Structure 1
Amino acid sequence: MVVLLSAFGIVLLGAFAQAVSGFGYALLTVPLLTAAIDPRSAVVLSALTGIGLTLTTAVRERAYARWRMAAALNVTALLGLPAGLLVLAYAPEWLLSVLIAVVVLGCVALVGSRARIRTGRLGLGAVGVLVGVLTAATGTNGPPLVAAFHSLGYDPRTFRATLAATFSGTGLIGLAGFLLAGQVHAELVWISLAALPAVPLGWWLGNRLFHRIAPVVFRRIVLFGLLGSAGAALASLAG
């Protein structure tokens, strides 16, 4: 029961952050779930509960999404997926926890510094491959996409919609990889079903604030939240 309630609350928080900022679902849920369950299960559980959210957002915001960009990133993500699945399957749990925390802290650095990356074909291709690796290995594939879309100068609505379109593809690719690799089991499905109602609730709450909260204020909130989630992943190592 404690695990079910924890999963519900964590998914609620992740859906809220995703609705307001366009990213943050996996970056918040995976490290926090790692503190409640093992890191492999955390990665798969986040994918199971988050796919409906990203698909729904992509459909609702389809008029604002850059679909060619999302498609190109998903094609190149396929190249990185096998490597990510190998890391998920064979890396020690402590190493997975460290990798998850490092990726989240990397996102904090990217968002905090407003870092820019090269957005030519080669640069975006490398981003896509990295996204594929992170999708399967840690479930936290947002940081390179956030940096790329900031570099492309997308406005907030285009940013959120294109992230959702990209996450939809990588989410489906990741779930297919998890199923083929035998990472989805009955207990995870049961926990995900129990936590699933938190997704629309968190989205509804976050969407109400999307046009009301000042971007700089929410940016600071997200940064502190990500620092806390990374800390939770690292703290799980002590347990």
Structure 2
Amino acid sequence: MALLAGYSVAAIVAALLAAFGSAFVRGLTGFGMAILLVPVLALALTPVDAVLLTNFLSVFIGVSEIRRLLRGAEKSAWAIIALVAVTTPVGLYLLSLTSPAIARVVIALIALSAFLAILLPRLKALEHHPATTGGVGVLSGLMTGYAGMPGPPVVPYYVGRDIPRETAKASMLLIFTCASTTGLASGTILGLLDWRLALLALLLFPAVLLGNWLGNKASGSIEDRTWRICVGVVLGGAALAALWKAFG
């Protein structure tokens, strides 16, 4: 298959396993697919292609459960989505100007930032302030464009607040689905999108579907406190792995 020319069997198997594992984490925690998948894909693809391929997968899985996301998301998600739509092209343009080696380091540092943010003490007066929501939206858009990772600002914003788990998950996943759609549109407008990536995403999508389904089943069987601990563990592990891959 011409699409897979240049990729070793080991690279394809690694991509399938990474797609499955990251989707399982997505189903379990409500985030994590991009944070885990982009650094792995960036080892075999250019950083731009890794980001856009992850965007395709995020859109595919988001569309498959869109009714649940629309029903459960908090209203703040729509304000963040609007800001993401405006700032994502800026992040993607900056990525196109960055060398692959530097981009991989920046992507790893972005993954680390999500872990550090979740450790910060919660400020009750700011956690749902319009300025906080706006800042989350702007940063999420820039990170969507540059690293395919809208999660680092979004995850602490929802997970760190005292709201139902399903509301937090639905809000995050709706934002991620819309952010990935914006990322693909930006890539098309800027002439950076190779449409063969859509075919590669279709190849990986069954692994994503299976992983996400199993993650959702596991999420339904654990308590909120355990879920929040899982969030922290996933963020910490993703940060360490991304840093090791970037600097190792």
Question: Structures share a fold, TM > 0.5?
Answer: yes
For residue 100 of structure 1, give the secondary structure of its aligned residue in structure 2: helix
Measure the CA separation in 2 of the matches of 1:101 and 1:13.
18
Measure the CA separation in 1 of the matches of 2:45 and 2:240.
15
Question: Is 2:112 the partner of 1:109?
Answer: no
For the structure 1 residues 114 and 206, does the alpha-carbon distance in structure 2 shift closer, same or farther, using more than 3 Å as the test? Answer: farther
| Letter aligned with residue 102 of structure 1 | L
Gaps of 5+ in 2: 1-8
Query: Are the counterparts in 2 of residues 108 and 226 from structure 1 also a CA contact under 8 Å?
Result: yes
| Letter aligned with residue 134 of structure 1 | M
Query: Are the counterparts in 1 of residues 112 and 240 from structure 2 also a CA contact under 8 Å?
Result: no
* Count of paired positions: 238
Q: Structure 1 vs Structure 2: percent identity of aligned residues? A: 29
Query: Are the counterparts in 2 of residues 114 and 147 from structure 1 also a CA contact under 8 Å?
Result: no
Question: Is 2:12 the partner of 1:4?
Answer: yes
Q: How big is the alpha-carbon RMSD for the aligned residues of Structure 1 and Structure 2?
A: 2.3
Question: Is 2:36 the partner of 1:39?
Answer: no
Normalized against structure 1, the TM-score is what?
0.88
Compute the displacement of 1:151 (Å): 4.9
Normalized against structure 2, the TM-score is what?
0.85
Identify the range of structure 1 (167-176 vs 182-191) with the bigger mean alpha-carbon deviation. 182-191
Which residue in 2 is equivalent to 1:200? 209
Query: Are the counterparts in 2 of residues 55 and 165 from structure 1 also a CA contact under 8 Å?
Result: no
Query: Are the counterparts in 2 of residues 27 and 140 from structure 1 also a CA contact under 8 Å?
Result: yes
Measure the CA separation in 1 of the matches of 2:88 and 2:71.
28
Which residue in 1 is equivalent to 2:62? 54
For residue 71 of structure 2, give the secondary structure of its aligned residue in structure 1: coil
Question: Is 2:136 the partner of 1:127?
Answer: yes
| Letter aligned with residue 152 of structure 2 | P
Identify the range of structure 1 (181-190 vs 213-222) with the bigger mean alpha-carbon deviation. 213-222
Over 3 Å off, 4+ runs: 112-118, 214-239
Compute the displacement of 1:185 (Å): 1.5
Query: Are the counterparts in 1 of residues 18 and 40 from structure 2 also a CA contact under 8 Å?
Result: yes
For the structure 1 residues 221 and 119, does the alpha-carbon distance in structure 2 shift closer, same or farther, using more than 3 Å as the test? Answer: closer
Which residue in 2 is equivalent to 1:92? 99
Query: Which one of 162, 168, 182 corresponds to residue 171 of structure 2?
Result: 162
Compute the displacement of 1:164 (Å): 1.6
For residue 42 of structure 2, give the secondary structure of its aligned residue in structure 1: helix
Query: Are the counterparts in 2 of residues 85 and 178 from structure 1 also a CA contact under 8 Å?
Result: yes
For the structure 1 residues 132 and 105, does the alpha-carbon distance in structure 2 shift closer, same or farther, using more than 3 Å as the test? Answer: same
Identify the range of structure 1 (56-65 vs 9-18) with the bigger mean alpha-carbon deviation. 56-65
